[in-house]
Structure 1
Amino acid sequence: MVSNRADAYGLQRAADAGIATEVLDHKGFADREAFDAELIRRIDAHAPDLVVLAGFMRILSPGFVRHYHGRLINIHPSLLPKYKGLHTHQRALEAGDTEHGCSVHFVTEELDGGPLVVQAAIPVQSDDTPESLAARVHVQEHLIYPLAMRWFAEGRLRLGEQGAMLDGQALPATGHPFRT
Structure 2
Amino acid sequence: MTSEVATITAAAIAGMVALAGVVSGFFLGRRQVRDQAAVEHGQWLRGQRQDAYVALLDAWDTAVKEFQEEIDQGEYFDEIAAHEEARMGDSFWEDHEESTAAHVDRISEGVQRPLERVLLLGPELVDKACINLAEALEALGSSVRSKSGTSGWPNYDMYRDMYRNAGKARSAFLDASRESMRAAPRPGR
TM-score using structure 1 length = 0.28
Q: Which has the higher contact order (CA 8 A, sep 6+)?
A: 2
Greater fraction of residues in strand? 1
State which structure, 1 or 2, has the greater radius of gyration over its C-alpha atoms.
2
